[in-house]
Amino acid sequence: MRNKTICLTLGILTYTTGHAESYINEYRPNVVFIYADDMGRGMLSHFGQKYIETPNIDRIFEQGTSFEYAYGCTYSAPARASLLTGYNDCRGDKWNIPRGGPYLTVKNYKDLERVEHKIDSARIEPPIGDLLLPQIFKRAGYVTGQFGKLDWGFASTRKQIHEHGWDEYCGYMDHRAAHAFYPHYFLENDSIVWFKGNTAPDWGLGTEEESPAAYKKRWDMTGKAVHAQDIFIDRMVHFIRKHNHEPFFMWHSTNLPHGPVAVKEIYPEIQKIKGLTSIEKEYLTMVKMLDNTVGTVFEELKKNKLLDHTLIIFSADNGHDTYYNVGNRCRNVPSRDKQGKVFDSWDYPFLSKLSGDLFNGNDGMTGKKRDNFEGGVRVPLAIWYPGHIRAGKKLNQVVTNYDWPTTFADLFDIKLPYKKDGESLMPLLTGGKDKLSKERYVFMNSRTGPSVVDSNHWKLRYNTKKKAYRLFYLPNDYNEEYPMNDKRPDIMEKLKKQLAPYPTIGYAPGLTIEVIHEEK
């Protein structure tokens, strides 16, 4: 294991060689990771959102280091798995994704144990001895906590959470339930915690359209006593206070602003906006709720005198989605343009201007969630740690969600027992570099087929049904409109070789396992 000393130079952590005790081992920063759900970067005022301000999230971008070419996955379950394991979602051998739904009818611990047994018996995991992100923090002496959509997949278990290295947790074990914001119960530190006032039969599931019936459903507050985000805020504040004397890693994998839309109120400043329907204002309120949550975390860290001793990361699992359908505007699943024509992921892709999306949540990029066009997989990413990580710096290096295990293993000088797909971002964050030294490739799966982006911003998409490739040069083609197959056959062939292990996988068929309820 290499000897590493980390020292402060010009306000930036830089690598040097030496024999002194590691700075990080003496002064380990707390780490808070906010992982937003379906948060297209265009919804943030930092990227030009014109209807609302998101000052707390913007602060992370403006006072930290951000990445222009940061990638997630095409939807949330593989994004969380990739982030925690360090492996890309084109693989079929590292993890699987059980379907959601089995926890919705759980009434007692006997039900819970039966459901968990089915999920655990079908679970695919990385090799024994592999280190996942929370285990890396545990190895470095941190206490770990997660709040929100728990762990990965659409259905996780208490055994899975313990094995992955989480000390404390509270949230949704079932991610069909996570689409509703008034839960009957959460799993919290191995216990079922019931919320007595939340009795709505569908857990307060919202709607995705503007109509009198949908409006009535959303604003019928019967059985909707406590909103999930209020619970998460309470638990995160408690976690910070409880562990303010020791290094901690806190991961908030949110279900905001994922739809269907459901809020307790429309914020007054949003209610005043003219030209928007109620559901559009409600959706903006969901975005604002997340920004306020980040503000609460900042404030609580400040109260506990931890603000100067905490590294904060903000990112998202995938690109934007439109949960605010008004007439022929932003029609969703299947996504359609204003004339009703269905978008596809190849010849007629989603564009905000064609759908009538007033918010332009994908920041003008082609595609949205479920596509591996840039609008579906390029995500916001910024890291904040004033005095230690460069402020206001935007980097063009291609990075991905599965870089984080390797990055923190590097930070703590922990040797990983297995080679992961991700690379360490530490040279970019602390070494004053703008680019990693070697060429790299970032892979993403989708229902159409896999894609790869190299460190020079060349992108190759493959369509498994059409057996066709399309090559794009992203710096000159923001909307992926001009294939370069014939103009750069050399790059085409190089990237085809990189995709060779993956092109038959498509949208991860075979990785999803149906979990069936036994009859009582």
In a domain, 117, yes or no: yes
The pLDDT assigned to 27 comes to 61
The pLDDT assigned to 264 comes to 97
Same domain, 37 and 67: yes
In a domain, 20, yes or no: yes
In a domain, 74, yes or no: yes
**Residue 338 Cα distances to 153, 206, 227, 328, 344, angstroms:** 33, 23, 33, 5, 14
The pLDDT assigned to 175 comes to 87
Counting Cα atoms < 13 Å in the Cβ hemisphere of 291 gives 22
CA distance linking residue 502 with residue 496, whole number of Å: 10
Same domain, 72 and 21: yes
Same domain, 426 and 365: yes
Say how many domains are in the chain: 2
Among 65-69, 164-168, 324-328, 362-366, the least confident range: 324-328
Answer whether residue 133 shows pLDDT above 90: yes
Structural domain containing residue 376: 5-197+212-442+507-513
Same domain, 459 and 403: no
In a domain, 202, yes or no: no
Among 16-20, 219-223, 241-245, 324-328, the least confident range: 16-20
Identify the CATH number of the domain in which residue 333 sits: 3.40.720.10
Which residues are CB-contacts of 520 (< 8 A; sequence separation ≥ 6)?
none
Same domain, 471 and 390: no
Answer whether residue 15 shows pLDDT above 90: no
Confidence class for position 283, pLDDT limits 50, 70, 90:
very high
Same domain, 468 and 394: no
In a domain, 205, yes or no: no
% of the chain beyond a pLDDT of 70: 92
Same domain, 373 and 472: no
Same domain, 303 and 357: yes
Same domain, 369 and 224: yes
Chain segment 144-186, per-residue pLDDT in tens: 999 999 999 899 999 999 999 999 999 999 989 999 999 999 9
In a domain, 519, yes or no: no
Same domain, 216 and 278: yes
Contact of 92 with 508, CB cutoff 8 Å: yes
Mean per-residue pLDDT, 104-122: 95
Same domain, 40 and 109: yes
In a domain, 206, yes or no: no
Amino acid at 292: N
Q: Is 378 helix (H, G, I), strand (E, B) or coil?
A: strand
Mean per-residue pLDDT, 29-53: 98
Confidence class for position 506, pLDDT limits 50, 70, 90:
low
Mean per-residue pLDDT, 391-399: 94
Same domain, 345 and 420: yes
CA distance linking residue 282 with residue 224, whole number of Å: 16
Provide the strand spans (E) within 226-378.
248-253, 310-316
Confidence class for position 4, pLDDT limits 50, 70, 90:
very low
The pLDDT assigned to 433 comes to 79
Answer whether residue 274 shows pLDDT above 60: yes
Confidence class for position 519, pLDDT limits 50, 70, 90:
very low
Which has the higher per-residue pLDDT, 455 or 98?
455
The per-residue pLDDT of the chain, averaged, comes to: 91
The pLDDT assigned to 330 comes to 93
- The string of DSSP codes covering 424-480 is --HHHHHS--SS-SS--EEEE--SS--EEEETTSEEEEEETTTTEEEEEEGGG-TT-
Answer whether residue 78 shows pLDDT above 80: yes
In a domain, 204, yes or no: no
Answer whether residue 520 shows pLDDT above 60: no
% of the chain beyond a pLDDT of 90: 84
The pLDDT assigned to 312 comes to 98
Confidence class for position 514, pLDDT limits 50, 70, 90:
very low
**Residue 480 Cα distances to 44, 328, 398, 459, 461, angstroms:** 22, 25, 17, 9, 10
